[in-house]
């Protein structure tokens, strides 16, 4: 594969360079890369909303299908949020939305073509049991887990086990923080809750803009899962562009908030790789200021080696001989960052065994 056209998707997301798609074969490759990276619908928006390129007929068919899928998801999410809001009104709790759900409800640019599978919400930890019981009365039930996984969630995780609606089949993730309790970077959830903002003309709430960026950055660079890594990086890119356009003090506020929440390290990686890969227009002064969270000149070379591979579309044409190793190493790193050694070793041992026997949740 010619290295100049191997990663067509990155070129589209950054430059809308359809001149590289001068044959049907290359268009087919672009669509396969976009589907693998979970950004087919976003690519459709670049065409339909912004007119950045004009695809050939067969490609337009695929993009139209992806666009219609996104519209269908939007309707489903709106209906689910309407039902959830009724439950939260009874509990006298604000319905605080996270990740793709928040982008959708707030009509942020990161919602454009953003496909996701779960509805994510944030509630105070002390109200978790109350929320869980109320949701059960409204058709939401936890997915069955074995005793180990149940204990793992209850003791260490930042969320409840996923709940699924018995009729509609939609999945709900209820968070009480944005990182696990075992993680050294464990922000004060009350700061997140108290800074949440109401979406105008609605009963829904979302994290403050700075907190939204920090949550996405923490999820991507501390989570260790990169199937949707490029999609999440694209979210960060779109959010940074939108929020900085709306508020001249956004960049400094973002740095200050990262310091307050202790999330400077994920922010450093988010700024570095959104700029390197997607050319996010970040002020040089902000890049320089974020360097206080850099792991150091020698280690950052290693992180570049890993992340610049892991954040490519998970498609064979975007991989080299080191890509699989890079993703595996970052997966191990994520567990190392989130769990102390006395928990990590038995947990990974059990996880590896379950993978070998084709079972397990974590």
Contact 169, 177 (CB under 8 A): no
Distance CA 325, CA 322 (A): 5
Q: Which letter does DSSP use for residue 228 in this model? A: T
Give Cα separations from 317 to 173, 260, 310 (angstroms). Answer: 33, 41, 13
pLDDT tens figures, 225-252: 899 999 999 999 999 999 999 999 999 9
Comparison of pLDDT for 315 and 55, the residue scoring more: 315
Of the pLDDT bands very low, low, confident and very high (cuts 50, 70, 90), residue 199 is: very high
69-76: list long-range contacts, CB under 8 Å, 24+ apart: 69/41, 69/115, 70/41, 70/44, 70/113, 70/114, 70/115, 73/115, 73/116, 74/104, 76/170
- Give the H or E element holding residue 47: helix 40-48
| Reported pTM | 0.90
Q: What are phi and psi of 232, to 5 degrees?
A: -65, -35
Position 53 scores a pLDDT of: 75
Position 14 scores a pLDDT of: 67
- Of 1-10, 44-53, 330-339, 348-357, the one with minimum mean pLDDT is 1-10
């Amino acid at each position: 594969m010619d290295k100049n056209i191997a990663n067509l998707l990155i070129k589209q997301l950054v430059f809308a360079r359809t001149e590289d798609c001068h044959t049907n074969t290359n268009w087919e490759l672009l669509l396969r890369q976009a589907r693998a990276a979970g950004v087919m619908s976003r690519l459709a928006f670049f065409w339909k909303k912004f007119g950045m390129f004009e695809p050939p007929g067969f490609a337009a068919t695929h993009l139209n299908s992806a666009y219609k899928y996104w519209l269908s998801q939007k309707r489903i999410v709106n209906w689910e949020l309407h039902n959830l809001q009724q439950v939260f009104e009874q509990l006298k709790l604000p319905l605080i939305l996270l990740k793709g759900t928040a982008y959708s409800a707030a009509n942020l640019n990161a919602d454009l073509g953003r496909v996701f599978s779960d509805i994510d919400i944030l509630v105070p930890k002390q109200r978790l049991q109350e929320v869980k019981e109320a949701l059960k009365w409204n058709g939401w039930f936890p997915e069955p887990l074995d005793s180990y996984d149940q204990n793992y969630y209850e003791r260490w995780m930042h969320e409840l086990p996923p709940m699924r609606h018995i009729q509609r089949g939609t999945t709900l993730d209820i968070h009480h923080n944005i990182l696990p309790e075992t993680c050294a970077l464990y922000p004060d959830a009350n700061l997140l809750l108290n800074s949440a903002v109401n979406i105008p003309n609605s009963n829904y709430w979302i994290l403050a803009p700075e907190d939204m960026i920090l949550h996405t950055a923490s999820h991507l660079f501390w989570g260790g899962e990169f199937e949707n890594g490029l999609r999440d990086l694209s979210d960060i890119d779109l959010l940074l562009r939108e929020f900085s356009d709306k508020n001249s003090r956004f960049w400094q506020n973002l740095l200050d908030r990262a310091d307050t929440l202790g999330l400077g390290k994920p922010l450093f990686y988010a700024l570095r790789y959104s700029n390197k890969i997607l050319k996010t227009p970040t002020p040089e002064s902000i890049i320089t200021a974020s360097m206080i969270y850099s792991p150091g000149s020698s280690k950052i070379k290693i992180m570049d080696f890993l992340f610049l591979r892991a954040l490519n579309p998970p498609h064979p044409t975007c991989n080299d001989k080191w890509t699989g190793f890079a993703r595996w190493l970052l997966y191990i790193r994520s567990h190392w960052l989130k769990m102390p050694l006395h928990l990590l070793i038995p947990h990974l041992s059990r996880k590896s065994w379950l993978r070998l026997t084709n079972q397990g949740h974590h």
